[in-house]
């Protein structure tokens, strides 16, 4: 049996750009679907994204020279992610104390004990790096009466910062910005990223929530700056690990951490800001 379709005859494959776009739509559809499903859908989303991010960090830590112990990384990471909501009755100080004594004590007997301290530190660092941002997203989301709005615009502002930095930096960027960590980043792109974040926050905080525009500007600067710091932090980890992407879990996009890096730090600063100024 033959075919007259030249694309099929040649074994047609989608272009990298098409794969990237289709994957982005599927990823976005899953995220939106789980968010619209309510609080339990959000909890499931945190478990999925958090678990995959911890898995990728585990692999990066090995390439960076001190593999995070899975028995410490995963339980602590999930605990930190839900420490302010589902697990808020569990004392964080007690958990950290047990992680300190039990974690370091275990390396007196486990293989690789010569690297015990560095592996324990890597496990704790990874759990904090992945778990705490999700904790603050959940704290924002569950805040009444506008938790969903705060969460949505925090993410949108971080995404806008990332997009504006990429667009402006690639077109008119001339001055390197942290070239030792990420050679393609420019100062012009970084400034554009902060401006993009401020514009989104002006819409969300000022227009939608009706708060003082000065709060929107301050939050936009915080989100834009922390989004770029998060991007640079993950780029530094990949440079130390000598890899291009954190994994290949998302076709055309790399890994989960590659997509989450710029949105990990903003909820922490947003939540602290709105709590200090009683905006929730």
pLDDT higher than threshold 60 for residue 7: no
pLDDT higher than threshold 60 for residue 17: no
On the 0-12 / 13-18 / 19+ scale of CB atoms within 10 A, 270 is: buried
Per-state percent for the chain, helix, strand, coil, to nearest 5 = 70, 0, 25
Give the residue extent of every domain in the chain. Answer: 18-142, 144-280
How far apart are the C-alpha atoms of 215 and 152, rounded to whole Å? 17
Inter-residue contact 257 to 56 (CB < 8 Å) = yes
How far apart are the C-alpha atoms of 40 and 29, rounded to whole Å? 17
Q: What is the pLDDT of residues 40-70, one digit of tens each?
A: 999 999 999 999 999 999 999 999 999 999 9
Q: What is the pLDDT of residues 172-231, one digit of tens each?
A: 888 888 888 888 889 999 999 999 999 999 999 999 999 999 999 999 999 999 999 999
DSSP code of 234?
Answer: H
Burial string for 241-265 (b: 16+ CB within 10 Å, else e) reads: bebeebbebbebbbbbbbbbbbbbb
- What's the pTM? 0.91
């Amino acid at each position: 049996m033959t075919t007259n379709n030249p694309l099929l005859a040649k074994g047609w494959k989608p272009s990298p750009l098409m794969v990237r776009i289709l994957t982005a739509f599927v990823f976005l559809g899953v995220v939106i679907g789980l968010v619209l499903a309510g609080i339990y859908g959000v909890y499931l989303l945190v478990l999925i994204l958090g678990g995959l991010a911890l898995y990728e960090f585990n692999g990066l830590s090995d390439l960076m020279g001190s593999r995070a112990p899975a028995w410490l990384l995963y339980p602590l990471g999930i605990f930190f992610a839900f420490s302010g909501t589902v697990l808020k009755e569990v004392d964080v100080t007690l958990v950290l104390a047990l992680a300190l004594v039990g974690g370091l004590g275990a390396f007196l007997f486990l293989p690789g004990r010569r690297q015990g301290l560095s592996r324990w530190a890597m496990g704790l660092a990874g759990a904090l790096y992945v778990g705490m941002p999700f904790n603050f997203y959940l704290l924002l989301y569950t805040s009444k009466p506008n938790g969903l709005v705060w969460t949505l615009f925090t993410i949108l502002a971080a995404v806008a910062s990332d997009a504006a930095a990429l667009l402006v930096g690639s077109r008119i960027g001339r001055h390197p910005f942290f070239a030792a960590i990420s050679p393609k980043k420019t100062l012009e792109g970084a400034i554009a990223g902060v401006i993009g974040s401020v514009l989104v926050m002006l819409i969300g905080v000022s227009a939608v929530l009706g708060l003082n525009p000065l709060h929107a500007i301050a939050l936009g600067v915080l989100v834009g700056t922390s989004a770029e710091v998060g991007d640079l932090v993950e780029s530094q980890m990949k440079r130390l690990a000598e890899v291009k992407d954190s994994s290949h879990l998302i076709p055309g996009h790399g890994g989960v951490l590659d997509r989450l890096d710029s949105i990990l730090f903003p909820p922490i600063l947003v939540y602290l800001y709105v709590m200090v100024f009683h905006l929730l």
